């Protein structure tokens, strides 16, 4: 079993992934950006180590990952899950809101992966799982920034997978649909009802369902799967990639 880093790993989908990897026998480091109280509660409840830094900050990522490796060991598994939204119709969208989402959701593919990729190459093993979104596949009204960033995650995954395969590193991407998390729960009730009506299975997804797929992709059993874009959205949007 290996050392796994999960960004945004103390809440929502990220928390479920951290717990799933822990239960599979991995040593997990869960990163978080700002909510110290919730992160400490997560650490106390799960026993999973937590580390605070901003995934949009390249220097902070390099420093933070060096600390993880010094305390836990070389990173074998990286789950790029951290993400934010700053929704607005494009004609009302500010550049600051655009930049914030691109920096956290897309630049983090570079800032988090760059510090660990050479170690993975040297050891001829690595598992990188990038969390995109249904809205990176189909687009979403009011989310040009988020959709652009999450579509970029898909392209990053496919390119890095080709570069890394011969070194024993797999790179895959999961595109969740609407998952029952605090973020989705904050949507107005009538809007949420409309969303669920559009999901053929008739319900929101569960964070544990995303975690189970991530655990598989991080496992030795997934060694022949790389560059994949895996859609898990209850049939709301059916895509080939």
Report, as an integer, the average pLDDT of 45-50: 98
Closest to 50 (Cα-Cα) out of 27, 30, 76: 30
> What percentage of the chain has pLDDT greater than the value 90?
92
Report, as an integer, the average pLDDT of 42-53: 98
The pair of three-digit structure tokens given for residue 124, joined into one six-digit string: 């001829």
State the pTM of this model: 0.96
pLDDT of the residue at 239: 83
Report helix angle 12-23 to 207-217, nearest 10. Answer: 50
**Which residue among 146, 178, 216, 237 is the active-site one?**
146
Cβ atoms of 122 and 102 within 8 Å: the answer is no
pLDDT of the residue at 183: 75
What fold, for 3-232?
Answer: Rossmann fold (3.40.50)
Whether the predicted pLDDT of 43 surpasses 70: yes
What is the b/e burial string over 172-189, where b = at least 16 CB atoms within 10 angstroms of the residue's CB? bbbbbbbbbbeeeeeeee
Of 3-12, 66-75, 179-188, the one with minimum mean pLDDT is: 179-188
- Average pLDDT of the chain, as a whole number: 96
Whether the predicted pLDDT of 241 surpasses 90: no
Residue scoring higher pLDDT (240 or 125): 125
> What percentage of the chain has pLDDT greater than the value 70?
99
pLDDT of the residue at 90: 98
Q: Domain coordinates of the chain in residue numbers? A: 3-232
Is 237 part of the annotated catalytic residue set?
Answer: no
Report, as an integer, the average pLDDT of 56-64: 98
Of 2-6, 50-54, 65-69, 190-194, the one with minimum mean pLDDT is: 190-194
pLDDT tens, residue by residue, 71-129: 999 999 999 999 999 999 999 999 999 999 999 999 999 999 999 999 999 999 999 99
């Amino acid at each position: 079993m290996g050392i796994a880093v999960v960004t945004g790993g103390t809440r929502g989908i990220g928390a479920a992934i951290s717990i799933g990897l822990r239960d599979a026998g991995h040593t997990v480091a869960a990163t978080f950006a700002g909510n110290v109280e919730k992160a400490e509660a997560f650490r106390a409840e799960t026993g999973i180590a937590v580390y605070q830094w901003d995934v949009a900050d390249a220097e902070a990522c390099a420093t933070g990952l060096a600390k993880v490796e010094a305390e836990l060991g070389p990173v074998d598994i990286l789950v790029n899950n951290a993400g934010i939204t700053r929704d607005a119709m494009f004609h009302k969208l500010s550049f600051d809101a655009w930049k914030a989402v691109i920096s956290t959701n897309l630049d983090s593919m570079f800032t988090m992966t760059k510090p660990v990729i050479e170690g993975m190459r040297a050891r001829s093993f690595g598992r990188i799982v990038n969390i995109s979104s249904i809205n990176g596949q189909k687009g979403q009204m009011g989310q040009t920034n988020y959709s652009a960033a999450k579509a970029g995650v898909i392209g990053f995954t496919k390119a890095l997978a080709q570069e890394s395969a011969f070194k024993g590193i797999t790179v895959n991407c999961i595109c969740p649909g609407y998952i029952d998390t605090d973020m989705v729960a904050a949507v107005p009730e009538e809007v949420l009802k409309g969303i669920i009506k559009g999901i053929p299975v008739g319900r929101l997804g569960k964070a544990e369902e995303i975690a189970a797929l991530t655990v598989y992709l991080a496992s030795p059993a997934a060694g022949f799967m790389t560059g994949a874009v895996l859609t898990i959205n209850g049939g709301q949007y059916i895509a080939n990639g």
